[in-house]
Structure 1
Amino acid sequence: MPRIRGAILDELRRQDHVPRSIRRKTREIAQARETLSRIFGRPASDRELAEQLGLELETLWRWQADTENAVQISLDQGASDHEGEPFLPPEALSDDTASSIEDEISRDQEKEILKQALTRLKEQERIVLTLYYFEELKLHEIADVLDLTESRVSQIRAKALTRLRTELSHFRAPA
């Protein structure tokens, strides 16, 4: 049995385009972020995260950029959240006849929670997310507007999304 398991793991590693070092960095960052979030009761700052990992701030930013660029989404498979629950396409979820007042209230509450979470982001993070998702600017265009490097804009966007995920994860209904 161990030989079969080993062969399966070897094949999975062979097919994985992301180096083990990037996977390790991703795990270390996630574990440190979770630990600090539990300790402080809020998302950790980059400085706190770097200190927890024993890294310089610049090194942490490089790690975050490396791990963000390693994200892979399968186009052959349905999307799922971090718990493996499948996402359905919006058209599969929408049913005009089944729309109820409770659904409407729930959507309004979710919008309000998201709005509050966005207001707690740093101004620069809010600006980057607004320009990227609402104004649909590309990273290099945002970099020009904010007089930053494209790499730094990518880091700010990744950090903002991580903060939002962390903050909004507290509002997820238990499965």
Structure 2
Amino acid sequence: MTRLNHQDKAKEFDKWILWKQEGDKDAELDLITRFLPLVTKVANKLAIGLPNTVDKDDLISFGRFGLLDALQKFDYTRGLQFETYAMWRIRGAMIDGLRENDWIPRTVRDKAKKIEEAYIYLEQKNMRTPTDSEVCEYLGLTEKELQQVLFDTSLASMVSIDESVGDEDEQKTARHTYLVDELTPRPEMIAESNNMKEVLSKTIDKLPEKERLVVSLFYFEELTLSEIAEVMNLSPSRISQLHSKAIFRLRSSLTRWKSQLM
């Protein structure tokens, strides 16, 4: 999508007003048409790390529902960037759609859970990020087997931004509320969010160099896994493995941080 100049932004804002305040269906259709390419953009990026059995057309179909949901829930009066908000919603809808249609086999989910538990246990036991050899020894795997499991669980390591988080006895909160300021946050929410960002920042800094670079290029520079593979001169499958390991390490740090709050 091309960048808008000041005049185009004003026109787009007028369309939000026409639709949200006056119910103009033509304005709604214009907005849908304008932002529809976001769905294909997200689908292309997400499909890189998925098995060939996943049809990109299915991703696009799921993503369209995410776009419509984003359009309905977006508060245009806050002056936020719709594209950023929508892309998280679209990606979440695609992952939710894959999960609901059983794209991830139970065995793959089980493997992902065991690896995540291994990272959490070893992180807490050794008070540092575990090495691949330590994880392999704990799980009784060879390093080659671990790399294959990480590749197989690349989708399972992704999370939906609309998935509820929190303990069963706590009020559930969608993940995207940590990313998009839909409501004015309370002071304690700001403090918790800042602490979480600090934990993630420190954990990312401590990641092995290649994993840290993958996280930076994927989440901050918004490169696809294939583009990262070219930059790092590695195969896309290897990049997917590095991404999975980084996510498991980040999760283990957040779990330890949460346990210290209790």
TM-score under structure 1 length normalisation: 0.71
Structure 2 residues not aligned, in runs of 5+: 1-100
Report the equivalent of 2:35: none
Deviates more, 1:62-71 or 1:81-90: 81-90
Corresponding pairs, count: 154
Are the counterparts in 2 of residues 32 and 52 from structure 1 also a CA contact under 8 Å?
A: yes
Report the equivalent of 1:148: 234
Cα distance between partner residues in 2 of 1:103 and 1:74 = 21
From 148, 164, 171, give the equivalent of 1:80.
164
SS in 2 for 1:137: coil
Cα distance between partner residues in 2 of 1:74 and 1:138 = 18
From 219, 229, 232, give the equivalent of 1:133.
219
Q: CA RMSD in A?
A: 2.9
Cα distance between partner residues in 1 of 2:226 and 2:209 = 19
Report the equivalent of 2:199: 113
Cα distance between partner residues in 2 of 1:160 and 1:73 = 14
Cα distance between partner residues in 2 of 1:25 and 1:128 = 22
**Relative to structure 1, is the Cα distance of residues 165 and 149 closer, same or farther in structure 2, using a 3 angstrom cutoff?**
same
- Whether 1:35 and 2:121 are equivalent positions in the alignment is yes
Deviates more, 1:127-136 or 1:117-126: 117-126
SS in 1 for 2:137: helix
Q: Which amino acid aligns with 2:254?
A: L
Are the counterparts in 2 of residues 117 and 168 from structure 1 also a CA contact under 8 Å?
A: no
- Whether 1:160 and 2:228 are equivalent positions in the alignment is no
Structure 1 residues not aligned, in runs of 5+: 1-14
**Per-residue deviation at 1:118?**
1.7
Within-5 A mapping of 1:34-73: 34-70=120-156
Report the equivalent of 2:75: none
Deviates more, 1:31-40 or 1:46-55: 31-40
**Relative to structure 1, is the Cα distance of residues 47 and 83 closer, same or farther in structure 2, using a 3 angstrom cutoff?**
farther
SS in 2 for 1:170: helix
**Per-residue deviation at 1:165?**
1.5
SS in 1 for 2:173: coil
Task: Spell out, residue by residue over 1:36-91, the C-alpha distance to the aligned partner (whole angstroms, 9 max, x if none).
Answer: 2343233322211112222111111111111223467679xx42237463315434
**Relative to structure 1, is the Cα distance of residues 134 and 30 closer, same or farther in structure 2, using a 3 angstrom cutoff?**
closer
Q: Which amino acid aligns with 2:214?
A: V
> What percentage of residue pairs aligned between the two structures are identical?
34
SS in 2 for 1:42: coil
Within-5 A mapping of 1:4-23: 16-23=102-109
**Relative to structure 1, is the Cα distance of residues 17 and 99 closer, same or farther in structure 2, using a 3 angstrom cutoff?**
closer
